[in-house]
């Protein structure tokens, strides 16, 4: 895999365009991501996003939450996070979720675990 600027990049193909329905997410296991955390890949409003799957407020899967308008709402206590940045959008969560870069390349959804959003 190479980055958009042509430099080498470590990406993981996690599916094909169309595999994730709008307002849904899939979970990529920690042993695949190499980050020690499961990562959820979300599809909202024709865009893909990736956050650590565990809510920073409680032990709940963000992939099981409500996805809408660029946010995910934790199914346990209703804390909300920005899908693009992981930034907390509402209480009771106070700690941001970790965001990861995700791109579409040749029809494949590619996750870059640990790479900041916007990095190339």
Domain range annotation of the chain = 12-112
CA angle 39, 43, 87 (to 5 degrees): 60
Q: What is the pLDDT of residue 9?
A: 59
Q: What is the pLDDT of residue 116?
A: 86
Contacts of 2 (CB under 8 A, 6+ apart): 8, 9
- Positive or negative, the CA dihedral 117, 113, 50, 109 is positive
Task: Give the CA count within 13 Å in the CB-facing half-sphere of 90.
Answer: 8
CB atoms within 10 A of CB 47: 13
Task: Using the structure block, give the residue that is written with the tokens 């995910």.
Answer: 72
Fold of 12-112: Rieske Iron-sulfur Protein (2.102.10)
Q: What is the pLDDT of residue 59?
A: 85
Task: Report CA-CA distances (Å) from 63 to 13, 50, 68.
Answer: 18, 10, 12
pLDDT tens for the chain, 120 residues: list them. 444 444 345 799 999 999 999 999 999 999 999 999 999 999 999 999 999 999 988 889 999 999 999 999 999 999 999 999 999 999 999 999 999 999 999 999 999 999 988 755
């Amino acid at each position: 895999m190479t980055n958009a600027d042509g430099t080498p990049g470590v990406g993981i193909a996690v599916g094909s365009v169309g595999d994730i329905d709008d307002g849904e997410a899939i979970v990529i296991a920690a042993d695949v991501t190499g980050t020690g955390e499961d990562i959820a890949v979300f599809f909202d409003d024709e865009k893909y996003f990736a956050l650590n799957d565990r809510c920073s407020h409680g032990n709940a899967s963000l992939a099981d939450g409500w996805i809408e308008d660029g946010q995910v709402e934790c199914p346990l206590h209703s804390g909300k996070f920005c899908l693009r940045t992981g930034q907390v959008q509402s209480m009771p969560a106070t700690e941001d979720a970790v965001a990861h870069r995700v791109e579409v390349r040749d029809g494949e959804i590619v996750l870059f675990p640990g790479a900041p959003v916007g990095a190339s």
